[in-house]
Amino acid sequence: MSVINIKGKDVPYNEEEIITFSEGLIGMPEMRRAVLVPMDEFQPFCWLASIESETGRFIVVDPNEIFAGYEPFPAEQVAGADLQTLAIVKISSEWDKTTVNLRAPLVINKETHIGAQLILSDSKYQFAESLMQN
């Protein structure tokens, strides 16, 4: 059991929970190994926290919790794989201006815990989709 500090709070995690982004996030090769920590108080949001860097902290959410019917790629394309899809949330100091990146989701294989950030070619999903319009 190890411990990671997230906004001043120590959160325990198991080695098996570690998610590996082989290439890091896009433009952030240092964001390679991270853990996903659900916010019990603020569901459905989670922390995605680098275990290698104190600054690698993101807020993520399962986009389907907010945008019903979000389908980043055709279901038949990923048949048989147990995948978790997450979108990075950009919190604004004016909370109602918070946006979600639906165009570049994080996809994680739940079995192997290997993940990657994808860029969707379908432009119906935006880089900064407002959380409020739903």
Partner 1 sequence: MLVLSRRTGQKIVIGNEVVVDVLGISGDGVKLGISAPGETSVHRYEVFTEIQAANRAAEVAVDDIENAALGNLSQMVRKNKDNEAI
Residues lying near partner 1 in the complex (CB under 8 A) are found at 7, 22-23, 25-28, 31, 39, 41-45, 55-59, 61, 65-66, 68, 88-93, 95-96, 98, 101, 103-104, 116-117, 119, 127-128, 131-132, 134
Quote the least distance from Cβ 42 to partner 1, whole Å. Answer: 4
Per-residue CA distances from 118 to 9, 34, 55, 91 (Å): 30, 17, 22, 21
Q: What's the helix, strand, coil split of the chain in %, to 5?
A: 10, 40, 50
Quote the least distance from Cβ 116 to partner 1, whole Å. Answer: 8
Closest CA to 115 of 33, 54, 55: 33
Nearer to partner 1 among residue 1 and residue 116 (C-beta): 116
Quote the least distance from Cβ 134 to partner 1, whole Å. Answer: 6
Nearer to partner 1 among residue 3 and residue 132 (C-beta): 132
DSSP assignment of 83-129: EEEEEEEE--SSGGG-EEEEEEEEEEETTTTEEEE---S-TTS-TTE
Quote the least distance from Cβ 117 to partner 1, whole Å. Answer: 8
Nearer to partner 1 among residue 45 and residue 73 (C-beta): 45
